[in-house]
């Protein structure tokens, strides 16, 4: 595998993972900080739209969630992912000012978003590893680490990172999806199909 091919795949996966990770950051319980039930409902819909690559609908949803709760930090991060660079940085900085009222996990994700725009890859990796050490089932941190390995041409290391995620969360359908993509890119189609079938079985609506 050439370095150019690895970097190209890294760029593709960065876009693909953004929506996936946004959706997986939620669960049936509310694990994001908001004072509004309606804002939370709209936010969940926005993450689903982001995961399906409906960027316009996701952007509208995140903006609406912020209208309902102007202090909804995770909605700010969601809208940042849908925005141009300067607006994104402004939204992330706005979320940063709310860190004292957020959970540890939310604060760390704000740091990770800031690092994406303002720090180098080493700092991003450091934060992602810290998140994963504390929250082994965190898909966004897992993806950041795996994509870094891929950008360096270390495909198998990327697969290992997702495999470790499955040890912490055996029901992570998206981990199987990403492993399938990795193997498909390498030309290992049997392994790719095996993992993509698991993903399809676990997430039949996708």
pLDDT at 28: 40
8 Å CB contact between 146 and 179: no
H, E, C per residue of 96-114:
HCCHHHCCHHHHHHHHHHH
CATH code of residue 200: 1.25.40.10
Q: What is the pLDDT of residue 63?
A: 98
Q: Would residue 48 count as lying in a domain?
A: no
Supply the range of the domain harboring residue 148: 110-206
The 10s digit of each residue's pLDDT in 128-167 is 999 999 999 888 898 889 888 888 888 888 888 888 888 8
**Cβ neighbours around 93 below 10 Å, total:** 16
Q: Which residues of the chain have pLDDT under 70?
A: 1-30, 205-206
In-domain check, residue 130: yes
Cβ atoms of 150 and 162 within 8 Å: the answer is no
d(CA 21, CA 10): 15
Q: What is the DSSP string of the chain?
A: --HHHHHHHHHHHHHHHHHHHHHHT--SS--S--S-HHHHHHHHHHHHHHHTT-HHHHHHHHHHHHHH-TT-HHHHHHHHHTS-HHHHHHHHHHHHTTGGGS-HHHHHHHHHHHHHHHS-HHHHHHHHHHHHHH-TT-HHHHHHHHHHHHHTT-HHHHHHHHHHHHHH-TT-HHHHHHHHHHHHHHT-HHHHHHHHHHHHHH-TT-
pTM for the complete prediction?
A: 0.73
Within a domain: residue 122?
Answer: yes
Q: How many domains does the chain fold into? A: 1
In a domain, 39, yes or no: no
**62 falls within a domain:** no
- Residue 49 has a pLDDT of 85
* 138: in domain: yes
- Determine, yes or no, domain membership for 117: yes
Residue 97 lies in a domain: no
Position 17 scores a pLDDT of 52
Q: What pLDDT score does 30 carry?
A: 66
């Amino acid at each position: 595998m050439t370095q150019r091919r690895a970097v190209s795949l890294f760029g593709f996966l960065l876009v693909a993972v953004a929506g996936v990770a946004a959706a997986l950051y939620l669960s049936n319980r509310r694990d994001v900080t908001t004072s509004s039930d309606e804002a939370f409902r709209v936010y969940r819909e926005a993450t689903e739209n982001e995961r399906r690559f409906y960027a316009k609908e996701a952007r509208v949803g995140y903006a609406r969630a912020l209208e309902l709760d102007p202090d909804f930090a995770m909605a700010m991060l969601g809208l940042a992912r849908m925005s141009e660079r300067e607006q994104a940085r402004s939204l992330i900085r706005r979320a940063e000012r709310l860190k004292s009222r957020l959970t540890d996990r939310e604060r760390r994700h704000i740091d990770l978003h800031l690092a994406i725009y303002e720090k180098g890859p080493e700092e991003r990796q450091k934060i992602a590893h810290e998140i994963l050490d504390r929250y082994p089932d965190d898909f966004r941190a897992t993806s950041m680490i795996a994509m870094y390995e891929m950008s360096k041409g270390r495909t198998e290391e990327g697969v290992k990172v997702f495999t470790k995620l499955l040890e912490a969360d055996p029901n992570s359908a998206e981990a199987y999806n990403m492993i399938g993509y990795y193997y498909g890119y390498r030309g290992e189609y049997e392994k790719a199909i095996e993992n993509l079938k698991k993903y399809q079985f676990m997430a039949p609506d996708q």
